[in-house]
Amino acid sequence: MDNLTHSLIGAALGQAGLKRKTGLAMPALIIAANLPDIDAPCVLYGVESLAMRRGITHGPIALVLLPLVLAGLLIAFDRWQARRGKRPEGRLPVHTGWLIALCYIGILTHPFFDWLNSYGIRLLEPFSHQWFYGDALFIVDPWILAMLGAGIWLSRRRERAGADQWRKPAKRALIGICAYVLLNMAITTGAFKGLRYDGPNVQVYNPVPIAFWRREVLWRDDGERYVIDRPEFFGAAQSSITDERHWSDYKDFGPTNMSDPRITEWSKSDPAAKAFLFWSRMPVAELHDDHIILRDQRFLGSPASGQFTVTLRKPNP
């Protein structure tokens, strides 16, 4: 998910009452909720960063060690302020156990919400390079942002007014998010059950922005053709060409071209292409005599498609 969503999740947990457990609880929750994204500067490497993102900093070793590092830094910061006489008077005493616990709570929300979209996450890195996908939420979900934003704002407003029940709006927002996530997981599961397909097709149920109840159905047939279907309702599509449904019924379809032997040969000397092929869940190729354009089916037609495109050229002899 986007970092604003991660930050609001941490803030909502704090406003639900966790911020009263120890000093620096709110910074711990918000920073920890974003902490796995310390791999973000790798985007400076361009397309090659696709092989680095959502990997080792999102895996089990990082999820164990990073909260301890963050808690240590926050404790050191608190003591540094105290020595300089600049520690805020209203700050609660820092409880080491609670601070570490909150760092773990915050950081564990990150891989869960990253897993929920179709971009994917390598949850077991460095022990396994396998990608995991939830296909349940769009990467920037306005409904989640609205619920979290409203819950935090109402909670803060009540707290400033001295109301006893100031935690309730944040708690309700978090309950609403849980219900919303479960609903979207059920929609994706319903899409799986509502579709018919023949053969070993790759299936992706791509969430779309705003219209959370809809899914783009991405699949391939045994003849190495790809299809992007946009049914009115998630259970109304079929994922195989039948007598009732033909290629002309689909707006976006075409050959994947991934069996072209030049792709394997040329990519050996192209780090960007190797990174792309490692990352891509559904690669498609546009073939030319002197170059090949690689794209990912999930992002065809998306404004962000340019970020996920590689031009593969024949190596110099």
With contact defined as beta carbons under 8 Å apart, do 102 and 29 qualify?
Answer: yes
Indicate whether 28 pLDDT > 50. yes
The domain spans of the chain are 3-189, 196-252, 261-313
pLDDT at 209: 87
With contact defined as beta carbons under 8 Å apart, do 151 and 173 qualify?
Answer: yes
Short-list 4, 7, 16, CA closest to 174: 16
Mean pLDDT in residue range 239-267: 72
Q: What pLDDT band is residue 249 in, cutting at 50, 70 and 90?
A: low
Q: Cα–Cα distance between 14 and 230 in angstroms, integer? A: 39
pLDDT at 251: 63
**3-class DSSP state of 226:** strand
pLDDT at 47: 82
Question: What pLDDT digit, counting tens, does each position of 57-116 carry?
Answer: 999 999 999 999 999 999 999 999 999 999 999 999 999 999 999 999 999 999 999 999
- Looking at the DSSP bridge assignments, the partners of residue 296 are 283
pLDDT at 250: 57
Q: Cα–Cα distance between 278 and 48 in angstroms, integer? A: 10
pTM (global) more than 0.95? no
- The structure tokens listed for 179 are 């219900």
Eight-state DSSP code of residue 137: S
Indicate whether 14 pLDDT > 60. yes
Whose tokens are 């089916």? That residue is 297
Indicate whether 248 pLDDT > 70. no
Whose tokens are 């092929």? That residue is 277
Q: Cα–Cα distance between 14 and 3 in angstroms, integer? A: 17
pLDDT at 155: 96
Question: Across the beta sheet with 283-287, what order do the strands follow?
Answer: 283-287, 291-296, 310-313
pLDDT at 202: 65
Phi/psi of residue 189, nearest 5 degrees: -60, -40
- The structure tokens listed for 210 are 């705003």
With contact defined as beta carbons under 8 Å apart, do 57 and 27 qualify?
Answer: no
Locate the DSSP E strands across the chain: 204-207, 215-220, 225-229, 252-255, 283-287, 291-296, 310-313
Residue type, 131: W
Question: What pLDDT digit, counting tens, does each position of 117-169 carry?
Answer: 999 899 999 999 999 999 999 999 999 999 999 999 999 999 999 998 999 99
Q: What pLDDT band is residue 51 in, cutting at 50, 70 and 90?
A: confident
Question: What pLDDT digit, counting tens, does each position of 163-217 carry?
Answer: 989 999 999 999 999 999 999 999 888 766 665 544 456 678 888 889 898 888 8
pLDDT at 292: 94
Q: Tell me the percentage of the chain whose pLDDT exceeds 70.
A: 89
Chain centroid to CA 51: 15
Q: Tell me the percentage of the chain whose pLDDT exceeds 90.
A: 64
pLDDT at 217: 82
pLDDT at 254: 84
Which residues have C-beta within 8 Å of that of residue 92, sequence separation ≥ 6?
20, 22, 23, 25
Q: What pLDDT band is residue 315 in, cutting at 50, 70 and 90?
A: confident
Weakest-pLDDT range from 38-52, 172-186, 220-234, 281-295? 220-234
Mean pLDDT of the chain: 88
Helix (H) or strand (E) holding 55: none
Phi/psi of residue 265, nearest 5 degrees: -70, -50
With contact defined as beta carbons under 8 Å apart, do 160 and 153 qualify?
Answer: no
Indicate whether 295 pLDDT > 60. yes
